[in-house]
């Protein structure tokens, strides 16, 4: 056996057994870096894909929604659909932009126009039948409900306020609730 043949056989055997030599180490290092880069790229892109596409979760956060555009998860109670949130800037902008496509928009503010969350909302129709009971997850709540006359009750801490609204079409009815306490 010649020295060249022996070296080739040894190199082949070492490469197949995973032994590192000075001849195959750079290839392994380059391969490891390539695999690591691919994992990190697809891992990050996979997370962004999950946030963009969403899923069928029932939580009220933006991640996992199926609405697109950064809207919080849409919830339903009977024939009424709603979404609420707006704590983050992106979510606030998404909710404000979407107001024109929802029949009723609600906004909750505190002193010096601070945005409020955890406002208990109840909406009753003209016959005083409750059509929605939910907690707002942020300063904005968008509600899809049939045209008609409604009373919106909003309770923050121990203070309840109410307003009558007439829903006639998308983006037309709005109600602002303001509390002087934080």
In a domain, 58, yes or no: no
Shared domain check, 168 and 81: yes
Query: What confidence score (pLDDT) does residue 78 get?
Result: 94
- In this structure, are 32 and 87 located in the same domain? no
66 lies in a domain? no
Alpha-carbon distances of 132 from 33, 38, 88, 120, rounded to whole Å = 55, 47, 25, 11
Confidence of residue 149 (pLDDT cuts 50, 70, 90): very high
Q: What percent of the chain has pLDDT over 70?
A: 63
In a domain, 13, yes or no: yes
Same domain (yes/no): 173, 87: yes
Verify that 90 and 137 share a domain, yes or no: yes
CA–CA distance, 11 with 54 (Å, rounded to integer): 49
CA-CA distance, 112 to 179, in Å (whole number)? 10
User: The domain containing residue 46 runs over which residues?
Assistant: 3-53
Q: Is residue 104 included in any domain, yes or no?
A: yes
The answer to whether residues 36 and 112 belong to one domain is no
Q: What is the pTM of this model?
A: 0.64
Do 8 and 96 have their domain in common?
A: no
Contact predicate 132/82, CB 8 Å? yes
Q: How far is CA 18 from CA 13, 25, 30, 85, in A?
A: 9, 10, 15, 54
pLDDT bin (cut points 50, 70, 90) of residue 178 is: very high
- Asked whether the beta carbons of 121 and 132 are under 8 A apart, the reply is yes
Provide the β-strand partners of residue 118.
Answer: none
Structural domain includes residue 16: yes
For the cut 80, the answer to whether the pLDDT of residue 11 exceeds it is no
63 domain-assigned: no
How many structural domains is the chain composed of? 2
pLDDT on residue 29:
54
- The verdict on 80 and 23 lying in the same domain is no
Domain shared by 87 and 172, yes or no = yes
- Give 16 or 125, the one with higher predicted confidence: 125
> Tell me, what's the pLDDT at 57?
38
Cα–Cα distance for residue pair 106/171, rounded to 1 Å: 11
Q: Is residue 79 part of a domain?
A: yes
pLDDT at 91 over 60: yes
Asked whether the predicted pLDDT for residue 161 surpasses 60, the reply is yes
The predicted structure's pLDDT at residue 68: 59
């Amino acid at each position: 056996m010649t020295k060249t043949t022996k070296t080739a056989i040894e190199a082949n055997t070492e490469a197949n057994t995973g032994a590192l030599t000075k001849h195959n180490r750079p290839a392994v290092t380059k391969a490891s870096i390539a695999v690591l880069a691919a994992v990190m790229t697809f891992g990050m892109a996979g997370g962004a894909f999950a946030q963009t596409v969403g899923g069928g979760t029932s939580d009220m956060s933006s991640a996992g929604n199926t609405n697109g555009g950064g809207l919080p998860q849409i919830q339903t109670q009977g024939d009424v659909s709603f979404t609420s949130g707006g704590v983050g800037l992106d979510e606030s902008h998404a909710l404000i932009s979407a107001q024109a496509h929802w029949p009723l928009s609600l906004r909750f503010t505190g002193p010096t126009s601070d945005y409020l969350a955890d406002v208990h909302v109840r909406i009753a129709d003209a016959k005083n039948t409750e059509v929605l009971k939910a907690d707002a997850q942020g300063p904005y709540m968008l509600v899809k409900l049939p045209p008609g006359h409604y009373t919106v009750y909003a309770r923050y801490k121990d203070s309840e306020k109410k307003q009558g609204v007439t829903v006639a079409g998308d983006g037309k009815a709005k109600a602002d609730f303001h509390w002087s306490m934080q």
